[in-house]
Chain A
Amino acid sequence: MAEAQTEEPRTLSYVAAITEGVRTVMQEQPNAFVAGEDVAGAGGVFGTYKGLLKEFGPDRIFDTPISEKAIVGLGVGASATGCRPIIDVMFMDFLGECMDEVTNQLAKMRYMFGGHATLPVTLLTMAGAGMSMAAQHSQSLEAWLCHLPGLKVCMPTTPYDAKGLIIAAARDDNPVIVILNKMSLAITGEVPEESYAIPLGQANIVRSGTNYTIVAIGRMVHEALKAVDKLKSLGIDAEIIDPRTLQPFDSATVIDSVKKTHRALVVHEAVRFGGIGGEITAQIQEQAFDFLDAPIARVGAPFSPVPFSPALEKLYVPNADSIVAAAKQQLGL
């Protein structure tokens, strides 16, 4: 990859990178299969599994009934007996239908059994607002999952991360939830053709900066990047960190950054109250209190379900402007 070649780097869309990640896993792991609603015949309602049925056949990628409990339960039972399932829960909002299987079975079985069970399940699900899909098809519920010991949770924001985190999730012997973002499907970026894994628990410093740290979760990474110029005009040179994995969380990268910049803002698309931003904020103040020159700012959605009307939804979802506004308020600018 690092060879000095004049060739253009290959780019893929986020959705194509997801497909390539799953394809790579299916090629590398004979005991991997994909199960979920509309994953085979339709190739996934977001196109994430396009072409895989033709490539791998109906024994390895198949449509299930609309039965989220049984879909996740299938993953639990199959993984405990030698398979490496890739389980699709179409919208993250549908986790409510299978929260027992996720919470009480998948996450806990290994511990409850004294370490004797291994559950290598990769659970892919689609989150995020911005498409007027209203309150039941737009949520970002990652905080639910990060609170459950036994699960790993990651949120790829770029095509490169989508492929690399899916491969890492599938190689991991633990249940890993990969939270994808439906507003990012068309984003393009460089994606190597070969197989590669991004270590779970390793943050990415998306942009280096000197006097301000932004920890941006999921799609908010892109909004933080859009805010860079406006922040610069306020004298803020932002370092943007994408944790990529929320559980386990790469505290060290965040803390090192804050020790350098002395000011921090955490932004996510999820409802602010009880969001993962509260945990990250607490970790910063626990580990870098003496380095802080200002209170830590938090940006998230208001305490309301996701609205339908585009007029309301655009007020609901945090963006570059709300990041700038929060920074100004935080610093008294």
Chain B
Amino acid sequence: MSDEISDETLLDLHRRMVRIRRFEETAGKMMEDGKVPGALHLYVGEEAIASGVMTHLSNEDQITSTHRGHGHLIAKGGEFDRMFAELLGRVTGYCKGKGGSMHISNLDLGMLGANGIVGAGLTIAVGAAFSNKFRKTDNVTCCFFGDGASNEGSFHEAANMAALFKLPVVFVCENNGYGEYTSQANHQAIVDVADRAPGYGMPGVVVDGMDVIAVYEAAGLAIARARAGEGPTLLECKTYRFYDHVGVRGMGLSYRSDEEVAAWQKKDPIDLFESRLAEQGILSPEAAKAVHDETLAEVISAVKFAEDSPFPEPSSLTEDVYA
């Protein structure tokens, strides 16, 4: 199937995934070392989803994100230096240090914010999609949310309204099998969140969220459908969170087995894709390693930028409350 996808796009998909992985591994290490205030929710393991979706979007297309939002912003074009600066609460961060990991955003890139409230992005995405239609643009909004969020009332209200108004939105469910520390089997009686889509009058599609090409192709169809004014799609991507809900192994909780984690790690979306690209002669292992190395160098320089950046001035404490 990937014959139809240009080499340029394949390399773009790879690069986006590597950028997320290298950023998150370093961010996780920094959190473990106590260098990051607050909490981080890492996207490691889920990179194929953000990358596969965002490759179809321009800066004028919007996304809404989740508490696990770094990967979405990186795939949407976020710059490492300003992201690390935000994670460290520095004034050079995307939110001047006022949002941190859970509220990282960049409206110029169409990234309407990570969100600390599970499910909150769903209705905001409906609003952005409505706005695209109202302003007569052909832009689309992609709404990322988890299996946990699919149990919030906001999911129901947003799905119903988007389908009713035929809004240009794609609901991208990142089903990583856990709502925080509670397994999907313990939080809903269904296996496929996409099963809910027909109940709202929209198509539901399930794809392997560890396969970036599968995500890319399914997202392409759903986004094209939205752009054409044919309404929303619920795209469920089966995936897995390699690290804990918060941090790397921050809380040492025994809610899932090491065997389960190891089995999913064998499906590492970057490893799988790199093998495939090597087999097809598109990217040699050496060239892939070079992408990792270059990205890591960029990460290291961005961390230095962040650490060298000043904290916000005390006078800024109550600024930006009102326009």
User: Are B99 and A77 in touch, CB under 8 angstroms?
Assistant: no
User: Are B320 and A110 in touch, CB under 8 angstroms?
Assistant: yes
Top-6 shortest CB links A-B: A77-B127, A73-B123, A115-B320, A114-B96, A114-B95, A70-B157
User: Are B94 and A73 in touch, CB under 8 angstroms?
Assistant: no
Interface assignment of B105: CB less than 8 Å from any CB of chain A: yes
Question: Per-position contact with B for A50-67: 1 when CB-CB < 8 Å, else 0?
Answer: 000000000100001101
CB neighbours (8 Å) of A114 from chain B are: 93-99, 320
CB neighbours (8 Å) of B131 from chain A are: 77-78, 81-83
In Å, the complex CA distance between A113 and B95 comes to 5
Select the stretch in B114-122, B213-221, B287-295 that faces chain A. B114-122
Interface assignment of B319: CB less than 8 Å from any CB of chain A: yes
Task: Tell whether A83 pairs with B113 under 8 Å between CB atoms, given A74-B126, A110-B321, A112-B98.
Answer: no
User: Are A149 and B321 in touch, CB under 8 angstroms?
Assistant: yes
- Min Cβ gap A109→B in Å is 7
Interface assignment of B130: CB less than 8 Å from any CB of chain A: yes
CB neighbours (8 Å) of A76 from chain B are: 123-124, 127
Residue from A79, A112, A118 in contact with B113 in the complex, judged by beta carbons closer than 8 Å: A112
- Min Cβ gap A186→B in Å is 34
25 A-B pairs, CB-CB below 8 angstroms?
Answer: A31-B135, A69-B123, A69-B157, A69-B158, A73-B120, A73-B154, A76-B123, A77-B112, A77-B124, A77-B127, A80-B112, A83-B134, A100-B117, A104-B116, A104-B117, A112-B99, A113-B98, A113-B105, A114-B93, A114-B94, A115-B319, A116-B94, A117-B107, A152-B322, A174-B322
User: Are B323 and A111 in touch, CB under 8 angstroms?
Assistant: no
User: Are B62 and A111 in touch, CB under 8 angstroms?
Assistant: no
Q: Which of A266-293 contact B (CB under 8 A)?
A: none
The winner among A82, A114, A117 for most chain B CB atoms within 10 A is: A114
Question: Per-position contact with B for A149-163: 1 when CB-CB < 8 Å, else 0?
Answer: 110100000000000
Interface assignment of A75: CB less than 8 Å from any CB of chain B: yes
User: Are B158 and A73 in touch, CB under 8 angstroms?
Assistant: yes
In Å, the complex CA distance between A76 and B143 comes to 14
CB neighbours (8 Å) of B233 from chain A are: none
CB neighbours (8 Å) of A101 from chain B are: 120, 123
Interface assignment of B153: CB less than 8 Å from any CB of chain A: yes
Interface assignment of B31: CB less than 8 Å from any CB of chain A: no
Interface residues on B, range: 35 or more
User: Are B62 and A70 in touch, CB under 8 angstroms?
Assistant: no
Identify the closest chain B residue to A105 (Cβ). Answer: B120
Q: Which of A122-155 contact B (CB under 8 A)?
A: 149-150, 152
In Å, the complex CA distance between A150 and B318 comes to 10
User: Are B124 and A150 in touch, CB under 8 angstroms?
Assistant: no
User: Are A70 and B160 in touch, CB under 8 angstroms?
Assistant: yes
Interface assignment of A191: CB less than 8 Å from any CB of chain B: no
CB neighbours (8 Å) of B127 from chain A are: 73-81, 85
The winner among B93, B106, B134, B158 for most chain A CB atoms within 10 A is: B134
Question: Per-position contact with B for A162-183: 1 when CB-CB < 8 Å, else 0?
Answer: 0000000000111000000000
User: Are B322 and A65 in touch, CB under 8 angstroms?
Assistant: no
Interface assignment of B36: CB less than 8 Å from any CB of chain A: no
Interface assignment of A14: CB less than 8 Å from any CB of chain B: no
Residue from A67, A80, A85 in contact with B161 in the complex, judged by beta carbons closer than 8 Å: A67
The winner among B115, B123, B131, B153 for most chain A CB atoms within 10 A is: B123
CB neighbours (8 Å) of B283 from chain A are: none
CB neighbours (8 Å) of B154 from chain A are: 69-70, 73, 100
Q: Which of A18-42 contact B (CB under 8 A)?
A: 31, 33
Identify the closest chain B residue to A75 (Cβ). Answer: B127
Residue from B135, B319, B323 in contact with A174 in the complex, judged by beta carbons closer than 8 Å: B323
User: Are B124 and A105 in touch, CB under 8 angstroms?
Assistant: yes
Task: Tell whether A77 pairs with B120 under 8 Å between CB atoms, given A33-B134, A113-B105, A116-B106.
Answer: no
Task: Tell whether A110 pairs with B322 under 8 Å between CB atoms, given A80-B107, A83-B135.
Answer: yes
In Å, the complex CA distance between A149 and B164 comes to 34
Interface assignment of A72: CB less than 8 Å from any CB of chain B: yes
User: Are B158 and A70 in touch, CB under 8 angstroms?
Assistant: yes
In Å, the complex CA distance between A228 and B321 comes to 39
CB neighbours (8 Å) of B106 from chain A are: 116
Given contact pairs A31-B134, A77-B62, enumerate 13 new A-B contacts (beta carbons under 8 Å): A69-B157, A70-B154, A73-B123, A77-B130, A80-B128, A83-B134, A83-B135, A104-B120, A111-B98, A113-B95, A113-B105, A116-B106, A150-B322
In Å, the complex CA distance between A110 and B256 comes to 38
User: Are B126 and A70 in touch, CB under 8 angstroms?
Assistant: yes
In Å, the complex CA distance between A114 and B98 comes to 6
CB neighbours (8 Å) of B126 from chain A are: 70, 73-74, 77
In Å, the complex CA distance between A57 and B40 comes to 46
Identify the closest chain A residue to B98 (Cβ). Answer: A114
In Å, the complex CA distance between A115 and B319 comes to 8
Task: Tell whether A78 pairs with B323 under 8 Å between CB atoms, given A65-B160, A114-B93.
Answer: no
In Å, the complex CA distance between A65 and B153 comes to 14
